[in-house]
Amino acid sequence: MLLATDLDGTFLAGSAADKEQLYELVRIREDIQLVFVTGRGIRSVLALLEDPYLPRPEYIICDVGATVTHLASLISVEPVQSDIARLWPGDHVREQLKAVKGLLHQDAHQQYRCSYYYDDATDIDTAREIAESLHCDLVLSAGKYLDILPRGVNKGNTLQQLLGVLSLPHHEVLVAGDTMNDYTMYEIGFKGVVVGGAEPELLARTVGMRNVLQAGRIGTGGILEAMAWFPEFGRYL
Ligand SMILES: [Mg+2]
């Protein structure tokens, strides 16, 4: 199986015992492939991986789907990355969004996306209009993150492209997440788990989806719960 998991609130979260169990499982079983799918940038993920306790994934989808990297070689996965790059309008996205009230730019180094913090005072309608005019999507997540991405680029779509490159069938994939920027992974039809403690809007949007388990346990506990719940993944436990 391939576990494609968000990091913050998901693979990095949960009780010490649940983390220990899942990390050990992923490390020992060679038939479990691991992919991180995160809103973080690659530098921030590589910094996390300096901790040997955290299992190393084969691939890292960063920037909410805007970049995809093979970890061992640190090389971008092609043609997926070039296709994304071609859709990105360039640095003038940031210039144009300077006009929007209440947007706070995140300082992290980024390619093919722009990230901001927002709050109740942010003029999201104007931001959305600018994004539209630049052929970009605007994604809100966790009640504070606002991302501008090339149109159609998101976690679910980039994961699907990666699986195409790896010739891996969908039914062997389990996705895991906890906030709205994970929604596209469920929407595209992957079997998935919304882990305990998830953003209320993600819970509301995934209610009744037959491919999705809303787990009770937080983070890694929710992933273990899903592996036991989906019949095809139970044998990996
Ligand atoms: Mg998260």
Rounded to two decimals, what is the model's pTM? Answer: 0.95
- The two domains 2-84+153-236 and 89-150 share their CATH topology (first three levels equal): no
- Domain 2-84+153-236 fold is Rossmann fold (3.40.50)
pLDDT per position as a tens digit, 180-198: 999 999 999 999 999 999 9
Ligand 1 centroid, distance to 14 Cα (angstroms): 12
Instruction: Give the strand order in the sheet containing 145-150.
Output: 104-105, 114-117, 145-150, 136-141
pLDDT per position as a tens digit, 25-60: 999 999 999 999 999 999 999 999 999 999 999 999
Per-domain boundaries in the chain: 2-84+153-236, 89-150
- Residue 130: CB atoms within 10 A of its CB come to 18
- Residue 108: CB atoms within 10 A of its CB come to 12
Ligand 1 centroid, distance to 37 Cα (angstroms): 9
Measured CA to CA, the distance from residue 201 to residue 155 in angstroms comes to 17
Ligand 1 centroid, distance to 90 Cα (angstroms): 26
- Look at domain 89-150 and name its CATH class: alpha beta
Q: Write the CA distances from 192 to 11, 41, 228, 231, 236, integer angstroms.
A: 13, 23, 12, 13, 16
Measured CA to CA, the distance from residue 177 to residue 234 in angstroms comes to 19
Ligand 1 centroid, distance to 10 Cα (angstroms): 6
